Amino acid sequence: EAGIPVLVVEVLSPGTARYDRVTKRRRYQRSGVATYWIVDTDARLVEVWVPADDSPLIIDERLAWQPDPTIAPLQIDLAEVFREIWGE
């Protein structure tokens, strides 16, 4: 009833990686989810998927998301985030 999300974010774990990358991704793409991020903390990157993509955009430095051009984009310094995750 809430409608189709404009962004879905998954953080991979060893037990769900294949399911997130294949089954869930296809389901989200077919449903019209505008953007699907798959966060791979081991590889220190984010896969960015949109409905029409056959392969992801791989981001490993700065992730930006701007669903509304009238609002400043959300920007995430991935190197900083992954350093915090790994306690570096």
Cβ-contact 20, 31 below 8 angstroms: no
Q: What is the pLDDT of residues 24-70, one digit of tens each?
A: 999 999 999 999 999 999 999 999 999 999 999 999 999 999 999 99
Residue 80 reports pLDDT greater than 90: yes
Nearest Cα residue to 35 out of 66, 62, 77, 78:
66
Helices (H), 1-68: 17-18, 25-31
3-state secondary structure of 76: strand
Higher-pLDDT residue of 85 and 1 is 85
Residue 18 has pLDDT above 90, yes or no: yes
